[in-house]
Structure 1
Amino acid sequence: MRRVVRQDVQSMHAYAVQPSAGLVKLDAMENPFRLPEPLQRELGERLGRVAINRYPAGCVADVIAALSIYVDLPDGCKLMLGNGSDELISLLALACDAPGPDGGPATIVAPVPGFVMYEMSARLQGLRFVGVPLTADFELDADAMVAAMERHRPALTYIAYPNNPTANLFDERAVERVVEAVARHAGFVVFDEAYQPFASRTWMARLADHDHVVVMRTLSKFGLAGVRLGYLAARAALVDEFDKVRPPYNISALNAEATLFAIEHAGTFAAQAALLRAERERLLRMLAELPNARPFPSEANMILVRVPDAAASFAGMKARGVLVKNVSALHPLLANCLRLTVGTPDENRLMFDALVATL
């Protein structure tokens, strides 16, 4: 194994998923609601009629057409589907793996702390990754980001919108400065809008005005985490280039049919998102009243909160049957921070009570 497996791969850690059996699972920003029983039966019947003996082709085109209408895709733009956002991130790194200005590997830039897959995809593709620290209150450091553009001239710059794990939307003036800086250096800026159902802003409507901007989304937070479907949008000519590195038939026929079903019942999922947004605001108010906990602003279905001892609170909450995410080790700015997924009203009460008990 050591002779043929890349040394950098041997030195890496695999993406960790916490065991959650028997626990209130509030660690992964999933939609906590199951489909209503009538919709479960309807979906089951539809999936049973899918021609799983055939490769998926026409059904994927149907998903692209339905999603284009659902997201109000701007004229002149196209969509590309991926097996979740993770595959799209890997495909972007593959498509943009051209030598950098200095003749070395291309560079990917992203604010940190941020989604770990930006760095992982870069390293697995042999690209450089440059993480630009956020400010102490988790805002985008526009000066540092622009300086990184000028120094590294990255092929890809990621802006998670809202950010994970901090859950906030960055100041729009800072974001626009970064978009302008990327344009000057002939790179692409990718807005990762994984949490769009819970956010107040999007860049989707502005795609037609920028030939170097990509918007990426997933249906995981929409309510289909188990379906594994993501999509990116950009000017048509750009998507046509990215699509050349996409594996054939990367979306299964069952996933495509489940997605079409969900879009047809988008009102059900919109109502769930509205309830989660209301629960998020209620949780933020409750957490703000605790004397030794500091919640940060959120426009996602999660809340970042700083406590005196994150390890002790995490262990104490788990012992009380509630699983959250201790993100303290991900970056120095996240010292003693927990990431709490917003769940159902009952789950949120259990989570809040468990946290209070550890404080």
Structure 2
Amino acid sequence: MTARLDRLIATRIRQDVQGMHAYAIQDSRGMVKLDAMENPHRLPPALQRELGERLASVALNRYPGERIEDLKQALAKHAKLPAGFGLMLGNGSDELISLLAMACDVPGATILAPVPGFVMYGMSAQLQGLKFAGVDLTPDFELDEKAMLDAIALHQPAIVYLAYPNNPTANLWNDGTIEKIVEAAPGLVVIDEAYQPFASRSYLDRVTRHEHVLLMRTLSKFGLAGVRIGYMMGPERLIHEVDKVRPPYNISVLNAEAALFALEHEDVFAAQAADLKKERSRLQSALEEMGLKSWPSDANMILVRVPDPAASFEGMKARKVLVKNVSRMHPLLAGCLRLTVGTPDENTQMLSALQSTL
């Protein structure tokens, strides 16, 4: 049996897939979980009960139908969808990224993005058999304008991804540089605003200037990471073409109903985001007092450089605080940990755990 299974894997599973690693998710049981940029706040008990009643009445025996359209309309209103723009849904932003790679899989296509950045840009390219071109950021995690423009001229990418703000560096990039990249791009430009609830700026007010720009957002950072709703906005004709590769019924009726409920109470989530921004400032001040280098953040995470990231990560984990060691993801991230902004109590525990490892 083992020999047959070995032969099956060797001959029927793609060689590049065999060499890949699955997306790693850390075991967080019993931990203060500050590794995945989740909103740490739950719904108030009264809203939990109300949501439970709503979900109990959902027709689980039926495929998703009209409520998906209701969700699209609610998201369009929430995001202030520009006139002439369309909106499509994904099972999280991850699915939208995969669908874009599939839709743009023309001969010789390349996907280009700054690095370090969100790993799914490169992974989606590899899984679709496309080339991925990563362009290093500057040592301060800013866009390298010349390198980006040179790479665009060389590769003529089908898609350029610009995360705004970026993950894991948490910063917003120079708008003038972004505009030069957008103007130079021969294919699609996807502005990924996953962390928009915590950012000081959005690209939404500029997106209508360009017919080749798509704006991608998610409800994960809004406060619904477990619900898996991503959405993408752009010119109707362009969204219509990409939407053709979307699987039917990719959003479940339960997920759609939970998202609709949350959007009806968006003031609750806006208050949570405001609280997290206050806590982000507190964390940044505390890290500075510890003598640690951290970078400005427009997200619900902070990138910090520590003397020994492995020792700090393991030391914090031993104290039941889980963060993300990103020090080996890219040479520019050497020595860095990524800290998710949590509740006031969680952040106090995290700071104490980090201090004890220095």
The TM-score with structure 2 as length reference comes to: 0.97
- What's the counterpart of residue 209 of structure 1? 209
Q: Distance in 2 between matches of 1:328 and 1:286?
A: 21
Which amino acid is 2:271 matched to?
A: A
- What's the counterpart of residue 106 of structure 2? 98
Per-residue CA deviations over 1:111-150 (Å, capped at 9, x if unaligned) read: 0000000000000000000000000000000110000110
Q: Which among 13, 33, 41 is matched to residue 21 of structure 2?
A: 13
> How much does 1:238 deviate?
0.3
- What's the counterpart of residue 102 of structure 1? none
Percent of aligned pairs sharing the same letter: 66
> How much does 1:289 deviate?
1.4
- What's the counterpart of residue 154 of structure 1? 157
> How much does 1:4 deviate?
0.4
- What's the counterpart of residue 181 of structure 1? 184
Aligned-partner SS, 2:328: helix
Aligned-partner SS, 2:11: coil
1:304 aligns with 2:303: yes
Q: Distance in 2 between matches of 1:77 and 1:207?
A: 10
Maintained 8 Å contact 1:73/1:205: no
> How much does 1:85 deviate?
0.3
Maintained 8 Å contact 1:86/1:117: yes
Per-residue CA deviations over 1:172-201 (Å, capped at 9, x if unaligned) read: 11111111111xx2x011011000000011
> How much does 1:51 deviate?
1.0
Give aligned pairs, total: 350
Maintained 8 Å contact 1:76/1:208: no
Per-residue CA deviations over 1:37-91 (Å, capped at 9, x if unaligned) read: 0000000000011111111021110000011011100000011000000000000
The TM-score with structure 1 as length reference comes to: 0.97
Please list every run of 5 or more consecutive structure 1 residues that lacks an aligned counterpart in the other structure. 100-104
1:266 aligns with 2:266: yes
Q: Distance in 1 between matches of 2:72 and 2:294?
A: 38
Which amino acid is 1:16 matched to?
A: A
Q: Which among 69, 78, 94 is matched to residue 70 of structure 1?
A: 78
Correspondences of 1:1-359 after superposition (within 5 Å): 1-99=9-107, 105-182=108-185, 185=186, 187-291=187-291, 293-359=292-358
Maintained 8 Å contact 1:328/1:338: yes
Q: Distance in 1 between matches of 2:226 and 2:307?
A: 35
Question: RMSD of the TM alignment (CA)?
Answer: 0.6
Aligned-partner SS, 1:21: coil
Please list every run of 5 or more consecutive structure 2 residues that lacks an aligned counterpart in the other structure. 1-8
Runs of 4+ in 1 over 3 A off after TM superposition: none
> How much does 1:207 deviate?
2.3
Per-residue CA deviations over 1:308-343 (Å, capped at 9, x if unaligned) read: 110010011111110000000100000010000000
Aligned-partner SS, 2:135: strand
Aligned-partner SS, 1:109: strand
- What's the counterpart of residue 4 of structure 2? none
> How much does 1:2 deviate?
1.4
Which amino acid is 2:230 matched to?
A: G
Q: Distance in 2 between matches of 1:288 and 1:94?
A: 44
Per-residue CA deviations over 1:97-118 (Å, capped at 9, x if unaligned) read: 012xxxxx20000000000000
Which amino acid is 1:147 matched to?
A: D
Which amino acid is 1:36 matched to?
A: P
Aligned-partner SS, 1:316: helix
> How much does 1:10 deviate?
0.2
Which amino acid is 2:195 matched to?
A: Y
Maintained 8 Å contact 1:158/1:192: yes
Which amino acid is 1:304 matched to?
A: L
> How much does 1:162 deviate?
0.4
Q: Distance in 2 between matches of 1:200 and 1:282?
A: 17
Q: Distance in 2 between matches of 1:2 and 1:48?
A: 46
